[in-house]
């Protein structure tokens, strides 16, 4: 039976983020749809700052246009955040959900991150003061390194505010609303979305199975593509 798998990439990624997974699924009767998300790859950025619901709305429109009938949904990091929204809405015929190091669990460190983004922004303005302009190249790098926000540094103003918006929302309340069978894939050494988030999602989504990997960081969807592909094939009943 022919199956469709929609894959949503993480922040700063593109459809190429799923190159390894596509290779691992090659030869199977699975159609992979891996769109560039707005603001990344070939897809133009939004005209104004978005939040997670805006991204979910875009994904829902894309899926309704390109998929006819039930499908499987996979999301990595920010794409996982979007996938949680879509699964909780129950407005699409999602047969199975796959979360790879999914974002969406807010921690106190996220407040520090947002404060850091604000400081980086105000610090950048400070460096435009006459007499300090010579320090701009060094000062900007120091500020961004200080708060560890390289994504913020390279983003446009619209995408910077979008990053703040999506990082500020805690999707924990949505987990209990998801009644779709779910596989969760996570690296135990993930420094972006800590392994504790995987445990929270596993506990919150009733029909979920957790697959964890030692020595793997945030690239679980790439570094463990073969293992993930094997699970996907089994869930789709494809040999």
Walk along the chain (239 residues) and give the pLDDT tens digit of each residue.
679 999 999 999 999 999 999 999 999 999 999 999 999 999 999 999 999 999 999 999 999 999 999 999 999 999 999 999 999 999 999 999 999 999 999 987 544 455 455 554 554 444 454 554 554 554 455 444 444 444 555 578 999 999 999 999 999 999 999 999 999 999 999 999 999 999 999 999 999 999 999 999 999 999 999 999 999 999 998 86
Contact 219, 195 (CB under 8 A): no
Is residue 223 within a helix (H) or strand (E), and if so which, with residue range?
Answer: helix 220-223
Q: Cα–Cα distance between 198 and 211 in angstroms, integer?
A: 9
pLDDT, residue 238, reads 81
- Going from the C-alpha of 200 to that of each of 145, 173, 204, the distances in angstroms are 29, 11, 6
For 105, the token pair is 């669990």
Q: Cα–Cα distance between 103 and 200 in angstroms, integer?
A: 12
Given 163, 182, 197, which residue is the final one in a domain?
163
Q: Cα–Cα distance between 235 and 65 in angstroms, integer?
A: 24
Same domain, 132 and 99: no
Same domain, 96 and 121: no
Same domain, 202 and 176: yes
Number of folded domains in the chain? 2
pTM: 0.84
Domain ranges, residue 121 = 108-163
Given 163, 186, 202, which residue is the final one in a domain?
163
For 230, the token pair is 């094997």
pLDDT, residue 85, reads 98
Residue count (the chain): 239
Same domain, 89 and 131: no
pLDDT, residue 151, reads 59
Same domain, 131 and 69: no
Pairing of strands 94-100, 182-187: parallel
Same domain, 192 and 102: yes
Same domain, 114 and 207: no
Map residue 38 onto helix, strand or coil. coil
């Amino acid at each position: 039976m022919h199956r469709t798998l929609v894959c949503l990439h993480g922040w700063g990624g593109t459809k190429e983020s799923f190159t390894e997974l596509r290779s691992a699924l090659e030869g199977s009767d699975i159609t992979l749809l891996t769109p560039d998300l707005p603001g990344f790859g070939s897809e133009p950025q939004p005209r104004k700052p978005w939040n997670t619901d805006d991204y979910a709305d875009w994904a829902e429109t894309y899926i309704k246009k390109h998929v006819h009938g039930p499908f499987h949904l996979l999301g990595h990091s920010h794409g996982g955040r979007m996938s949680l929204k879509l699964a909780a809405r129950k407005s699409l015929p999602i047969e199975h959900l796959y979360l790879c190091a999914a974002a969406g669990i807010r921690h106190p460190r996220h407040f520090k991150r947002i404060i850091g983004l604000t400081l980086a922004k105000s610090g950048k303005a400070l460096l435009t003061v006459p007499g300090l302009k010579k320090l701009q190249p060094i000062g900007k790098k120091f500020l961004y390194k200080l708060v560890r926000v390289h994504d913020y540094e390279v983003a446009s103003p619209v995408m910077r505010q979008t990053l703040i918006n999506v990082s500020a929302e805690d999707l924990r309340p949505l987990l209990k609303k998801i009644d779709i069978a779910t596989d969760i894939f996570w690296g135990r050494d993930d420094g972006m979305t800590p392994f504790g988030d995987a445990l929270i999602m596993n506990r919150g989504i009733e029909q979920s199975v957790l697959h964890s990997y030692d020595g793997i960081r945030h690239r679980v969807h790439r570094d463990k593509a073969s293992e993930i592909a094997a699970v996907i094939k089994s869930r789709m009943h494809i040999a």
